[in-house]
Amino acid sequence: MQTAAAALFKDWSGYLKPEDISQLESAFHFSEQAHEGQFRQSGEPYVSHPLAVANILAQWHLDTQALTAALLHDVMEDTSVTKTEISKSFGKPVADLVDGVSKLDKIEFETHEEAQAENFRKMLLAMARDVRVILIKLADRLHNMRTLDAFEPEKRRRIARETLDIYAPIANRLGLNSIYHELEDLSLIHLYPDRHRVLAKAVKAARGNRREVVGKVLDTIKRKLKGAGVEAQVHGREKHLYSIYRKMREKHLSFAQVEDVFAFRVVVRDVPACYVALGTLHSLYKPIPGRFEDYIAIPKANGYQSLHTTLFGPFGTPIEVQIRTEEMHKIAEAGVASHWLYKSSDTTLSELQKKTHQWLQSLLEMQSQSGDSVEFLEHLKVDLFPDEVYVFTPKGRILALPRGATAVDFAYAVHTDIGNRCVAVKINQELMPLRSELRNGDRVEIITAAHAKPNPLWLNFVASGKARSRIRHFLKTMHFEESVQLGERLLNQSLTALGSALAEIKEAHWDKFTRDAGVRSRQEILADIGLGKRLAAVVARRLLPAGEPGPSEVTAPGSVIIRGSEGMAVQFARCCQPIPGDPIIGIISKGQGMVIHTHDCPVVVKARHDPDRILDVAWDPETKKLFEVSIKTVVANQRGVLAKVAAEIAGAGSNIQNVAMDREDGGDYTDMFFTLQVSNRLHLAQIMRGLRRIPEVIRLTRVKG
């Protein structure tokens, strides 16, 4: 290994100083000694792996600290070396990088979903602190994928799957195009070896069959551009195998039907030359409508810039062409690593760094608002979606959103407060539903209201990780606050029954109880009571000092008053649909809070074996909320009967939430099921009296369950 290392150090000396090379030699010897006696699955000395990882990073001209960390990246994980030792020998920044990469591998992916998700969460935190951490990790993953043959098939498939799901998309999001495509192609080899073999053979055959066509197109393009005075480098290239495979799978095509297996890249001097070259090529071969993308005017989120066009080539063969400048080509291949590879004052690089930083910060915010690692991983996977749609704000600012994004995604992309308060949207000056899917070039204007709040149903159609995490965060916060209010009422009720009151509990007693319970604040205790995780009666007794009211002095607790405006902390059971006027009972359901049922509901009968969960509740006489209730009407099959029933319901001041009908073929009667909004039992009785006056209504009942 010494000879191989010396040869690599000599190569790296082209951009590193002698003292840097000296540090890397020390790091290599340190790593070699630490890994002494360890071998890879292939039988090679283990130190060959960190050396290969460092060499991948050296191709991007990464700095000495990163290369040193790459040479040492497994010593903390696989040997007895500590972070302190690395810090003493090579400095704190190197030790932090090694520590960041080491943390990523502490949990094996073959464990349950939660462990896998927590691993990715750690990766994000390390990546957001220093982007070099993820560059080292990607280089590590790339070398492991290149040498995966030594493992068992099952492990190869597992590693290839997680590479395809997470690491390749991260490489794409950071603009590391060459790594992205290689990781995808290597994953295809190990996930679907037979498909890869057949596809590779087909591409090789097509290469021979189309060589003449490709050569002819290449020469024609070069001559045409030269004639137009455009200096350009023109290259023909094959599409990556995984790109072909994905196209075949998504569009259900055979290989013979995939016509654009070959593509051409035109690299010119500057941006104006890109558009001149585009016009020249469009005059040479006719462009295919709808197959043009201008990523120069509107760059991709990872900084990628190019003009993409597809042309009708000779013999009707579609030709895909990318046109870009030399600077754009560098960024397209190296992405965020171009910061090290090309020391340039060009604004494109600083803009790319800014975009990368913003993305990492948005992921940090997302993970801080996610309830757990699995939820965060779901948001991360959504955010790594490669396809994007570009839309405009009313002031002309361009926003990139995931394909399938809606007006709600747009609102949250502008600002969290705009998303939380949005009530309507204008797309291209027309009022549209909030769930409307956005298309490239749409001009979007969000209409907000001061007291609006997110609707849980939005989670069914939003497409961006940011929108999903912000909606969930708002709902959780709102749920927490409402649970605190309910918990306070329940605790006060229990204290009253013990001859005390919430206002009389001293701070010292609260402090002792929160300390003993292992929580940070009394709000958490109250929220737990509201959510049914703690019993109010037990908390009340523990808050009272010894010697205060005993069992003989306990009074019967009063009823909890239900107003209907408690929010998510109090839920009304779907099984019996209680409305004001119904005799009701409250059941504390762990994690849900209080669920209100009618006295005669079968669920209440089952719950009576656990009296601590049952609460006395009563309706507030001044309840102004509308409640859902279901009714069934049996009507004679006559023209206009539905209109008559609906008009009567509306005339009685009720909204119809839902209607369904069930009719037997050839029968004289139809069952109609309505879900209505009513104020109370009197309101429902008024509606039902009106319906009974309709001659076609044969039978009318309230439905429960």
> Which CATH number fits the domain 2-194, given the four candidates 3.40.640.10, 3.30.70.920, 1.10.760.10, 1.10.3210.10?
1.10.3210.10
The model's confidence at residue 509, banded by pLDDT at 50, 70 and 90, is confident
Range(s) of the chain covered by CATH 3.30.70.260: 627-703
166, 186, 128, 139: which is closest to 337 by C-alpha?
Answer: 139
Pick among 3.40.50.20, 2.60.40.1260, 3.30.460.10, 1.25.40.10: CATH of 211-334: 3.30.460.10
Minimal CA–CA distance to 210: which of 323, 314, 321?
314
Query: Of 25, 44, 77, 365, which one is the catalytic site residue?
Result: 77
Asked whether the beta carbons of 353 and 334 are under 8 A apart, the reply is no
Query: Which whole number is the average pLDDT over 472-484?
Result: 81
Q: Are 195 and 188 in contact (CB under 8 A)?
A: yes
77 in catalytic set = yes
85 is catalytic: no
Least-confidence region, from 101-105, 238-242, 539-543? 101-105
Measured CA distances, 404 to 401, 438, 440 (Å):
8, 7, 11
pLDDT at 565 over 50: yes
Predicted pLDDT of residue 440:
80
Would you state the pLDDT for residue 114? 59
Beta bridge partners of 616: 585
48 vs 53: CA distance, rounded Å: 9
Q: In terms of DSSP bridges, do strands 444-448 and 570-572 run parallel, antiparallel, or are they unpaired?
A: unpaired
CATH 3.30.460.10 residue ranges for the chain: 211-334
Which residue's structure tokens are 């063969």? 317
Helix (H) or strand (E) holding 430: strand 430-432
- Whole-number percent of the chain with pLDDT over 90: 20
Distance CA 312, CA 379 (A): 40
Give yes or no for a contact between 579 and 678, defined as CB atoms under 8 angstroms apart. Answer: yes
Q: For position 384, what pLDDT does the model report?
A: 60
**Global pTM exceeds 0.85:** no
The pLDDT of residue 273 is above 90:
yes
d(CA 586, CA 569): 12
pLDDT of amino acid 419 = 92
What is the 3-state composition of the chain as percent helix, strand, coil, each rounded to the nearest 5?
55, 20, 30
Condensed to tens digits (0 to 9), the pLDDT of residues 621-665 reads 888 788 999 999 999 988 889 999 999 999 999 999 889 988 766
Confidence of residue 161 (pLDDT cuts 50, 70, 90): confident
Out of 78, 238, 378, 388, which one is annotated catalytic? 78
Main-chain phi, psi angles of 161, to 5 degrees? -65, -45
Tokens standing for residue 407: 């007006």
DSSP per position, 238-302: EPPHHHHHHHHHHHT--GGG----EEEEEEESSHHHHHHHHHHHHHHSPEEEEEEEETTTS--TT
pLDDT digits 0-9 by tens, 182-194: 999 999 999 889 9
Structure tokens of 363? 């992921």
Q: Residue 568 — pLDDT band, cuts 50, 70, 90?
A: low
Mean pLDDT, rounded, of the chain = 81
Considering only residues 452 and 345, tell me which one the structure prediction assigns the higher pLDDT.
452
- pLDDT reading at 112 higher than 60: no
> Where does the pLDDT of residue 201 fall: very low under 50, low under 70, confident under 90, or very high at 90 and above?
confident
Helix (H, G, I), strand (E, B) or coil at 366: helix
What are the Cα distances from residue 191, in Å, to 143, 383, 396, 524?
Answer: 17, 24, 44, 47
Least confident residue range of 84-93, 99-108, 255-264: 99-108
Q: What pLDDT does 108 receive?
A: 46
Identify the weakest region by mean pLDDT among 174-183, 606-615, 677-686.
606-615
DSSP 598-667: ETT-HHHHHHTT-GGGEEEEEE-TT----EEEEEEEEEE--TTHHHHHHHHHHHTT-EEEEEEEEE-TT-
654 alpha-carbon distance from chain centroid: 40
pLDDT of residue 547: 45
Nearest to 649 by CA among 682, 681, 675, 624: 675
Confidence of residue 546 (pLDDT cuts 50, 70, 90): low
**pLDDT tens digits along 349-370:** 566 666 666 666 666 666 565 5
The letter for the amino acid at 22 is S
DSSP states of 591-602 as a string? TTEEEEEETT-H
CATH number of 627-703: 3.30.70.260
Q: Over range 582-605, report the average pLDDT.
A: 83
Q: Is the pLDDT of residue 545 over 80?
A: no
Could you count the other beta carbons within 10 Å of the beta carbon of residue 235? 11
β 430-432/614-619 pair status: unpaired
What is the CATH topology of the domain spanning 387-463? Ubiquitin-like (UB roll) (3.10.20)
Q: Is the pLDDT of residue 43 over 90?
A: no
**In the predicted model, is pLDDT for residue 127 greater than 70?**
no
The answer to whether the beta carbons of residues 295 and 325 sit under 8 Å apart is no
- Opening angle at CA 100, ends 95 and 104, nearest 5: 140
So what's the pLDDT on residue 375? 58
So what's the pLDDT on residue 554? 43
> 557, 493 in Cβ contact below 8 A?
yes
Phi, psi of 516 (to 5 degrees): -65, -35
Tell me the β-bridge partners of 335: none
| pLDDT tier for residue 309 given thresholds of 50, 70 and 90 | very high
Q: What are the residue ranges of CATH 1.10.3210.10 in the chain?
A: 2-194
Residues of the chain with CATH 3.10.20.30: 387-463
Q: 């021979």: which residue's tokens?
A: 208
Per-residue pLDDT at 552: 40
